[in-house]
Chain A
Amino acid sequence: MAGSERTAAPAAAEFLLRRHRWRAAEALPWLIAIGAYFAFPDYLALGTQILIGIMFALSLDLVLGYAGILTLGHAAFFGTGAYAAGLLAAKLGWGEPLTGLLFAGACAALAGFVSGWVLLRYRGLTLLMLTLATAIMLYELGNARADITGGYDGVTGIVIKPLFGRFKYDLYAHTYYLYALAVLLVLFVIARRIVYSPFGQALVGIRENLGRMQALGSPVHRRLVTVYTIAAAMAGVAGGLYAQSNAFVTLSALGFERSAAVLIMLILGGTGRLYGAFVGTAVYMLLEDRLATLSPEFWQFGVGLVLVLTVLFARGGLFGLLERAARAAKRLWR
């Protein structure tokens, strides 16, 4: 055998052995988030909502981007978490924030496990319709039980105790911003570990070729239900934080529009690449904020235009574009 044939293999192994290590560039979003805290002290309420949106989109990325599960009902878990945390504080008077989030995550995880167990036997368009229908049913359930959920008026009277019993919340959301940033960091580290684990690789295998995974003996259903439950828990935590920071939950937390918006944010940023959730959510929500001030009626047109351009010309979303630009810059540098 020629000598050259033996050189590529160890290099290939090295690549896979190193892939999961943190790169310097990965500090960037966190530095930006901390920088924004100091640079835009008047916009931290918006910033908090963006951080919550990123958590939500990140949870969808696990499901859609990695496992290839098509869903239009992801807001069901966000809403479950929001109501869980909201009702816990408003009706049961339990205002401790961190346990509230854990409770929100646990409730959403349960919802994810049960619905996933049933629905994830289906694929593609059928699954898309079933997730949509499930979310609508949950929405109508919330509407029907207005005695608990407050119906269209929502849950009010959510009082959250100071974080760690020390940090109070102010009108400009300083505390909530840092609280949300810390929670996002925790969720991100979890998501990142999952993605780079052998389990995460198996999810990608299922996304790429379900039939072959079955043929090689992968317990596909179990894998899908597992990731669906984890993602539901994450979405629930995001929803819980949403309820806490707004001190208010309405049915819109569960609604179809939220499921659709998070899908748009993720596709805009790029699916199956973790940081796509960051870029897509930030761009979408900032655009929404700016355009809505410019033109309250037509801002969605602007967002729609950006989405169409992204889907047509930037496969892999905005983050995919950034990756390509970074690679090109590196080549020029050499």
Chain B
Amino acid sequence: MSAHALETRALFKNFGALQVARAIDFTLERGARCALIGPNGAGKTTFVNLITGVLKPSAGSVLLHGEDVTRLSQIKRARRGIARTFQINQLFRGLSVLENVCLAVGERTGACNNLWRAAGARRETIDEALGLLEALRLQDDALKPVSELPYGRQRLVEIAIALGQRPKVLLLDEPAAGVPSAESHIILDVIDGLPPGIAVLIIEHDMDVVFRFARSIAVLVAGAILMQGTPQEVAADERVRTLYLGEQAHG
């Protein structure tokens, strides 16, 4: 059988008496374009942290391409192909855009294990990072300190770093958050153009983004998956409508 790109089985997470993940069974196929939606406090970011290994589950397991990675650290999971972006930018602010991406590429290829040869003496890392910047149309900003970029373009660097890891599974935590709506199309174009082989899970509040991007949608409520289905199924579901559209109606 062909394994799922990512799978969670009966995933639980408790903080004391507070249950933030309840029996989450979730699958992401190879090349998936899935959106995870749910009201604030539903546990979406917790779920991402459980998948990436920032948090250890109280019970249940996480599988990457059929292999149990539940006991692996965040670092080891990242090396096996789970990449994520952050809701609030997590960039190397003192470094240039190109250096930001070089770090991701260099750590993936193992170039960063070398402490004797000059970084510049190995062209491959720089060329690959530049290629990514060109794909995201960031090449003109390559040498600028990332902190000098407008916020929307910083969000692109956030994605570029994750792509530098050549992930098999990519988790995008509200990629357009904080971006002025006039610029959000840049982010959406990039997401549309992601390599088809990558399984992508996007966490998003903006329903326009969700319905434009997703081929499947999972709805998370109070730490549990309420339903997972096609956008049409989710949009037609009565529980989702009352829950989600009701919430949107008053803010």
| Interface residue ranges, A against B (CB under 8 Å) | 4-6, 8-9, 11-13, 15-20, 193-194, 196-202, 204-205, 208-209, 211-220, 223, 226
Contacts and interface: CB of A to CB of B under 8 A. Distances in A.
Interface in B117-153: 117-123, 125-127, 130, 133-134, 137, 139-143
Contact of B165 (A16, A201, A216): A216
A212 to B, nearest CB: 4
Given A5-B140, A13-B127, A204-B95, A214 B118 contact: no
A213 B102 CA distance: 12
Q: Helix, strand, loop or mixed for chain A's interface?
A: helix
Interface in B46-92: 52, 74-79, 83-84, 86, 90-92
Contact of B115 (A11, A13, A16, A199): A199
A200 B75 contact: no
Given A218-B75, A218-B107, A205 B139 contact: no
Contacts of B92: 204-205, 208-209, 212
Interface of B: 52, 74-79, 83-84, 86, 90-96, 98-99, 102-104, 106-108, 111-123, 125-127, 130, 133-134, 137, 139-143, 161-162, 164-165
B120 A16 contact: yes
Nearest to B98: A12
A200 B120 CA distance: 12
A194 B92 CA distance: 19
A13 B97 CA distance: 12
Most chain B CB within a 10 A radius of its CB, from A5, A12, A202: A12
Chain A to chain B: the 8 pairs with minimum beta-carbon distance, closest first? A217-B78, A12-B142, A199-B115, A20-B118, A208-B92, A9-B139, A202-B112, A217-B79
B118 A196 contact: yes
Given A197-B114, A202-B106, A17 B74 contact: no
B83 to A, nearest CB: 7
A212 B95 CA distance: 13
Contacts of A9: 130, 133-134, 139-140, 142
Contacts of B137: 5
B86 to A, nearest CB: 8
A97 B94 CA distance: 42
Contacts of B111: 198
A214 B141 CA distance: 25
Nearest to A6: B139
Given A208-B94, A218-B75, A198 B127 contact: no
B246 to A, nearest CB: 35
Contacts of B130: 9, 12-13
Nearest to B165: A216
A214 to B, nearest CB: 5
22 contacts: A5-B137, A8-B139, A8-B141, A13-B98, A16-B102, A20-B119, A197-B119, A198-B117, A198-B119, A198-B125, A199-B115, A200-B115, A201-B119, A204-B94, A205-B103, A209-B91, A212-B92, A212-B161, A214-B74, A216-B107, A217-B108, A218-B107
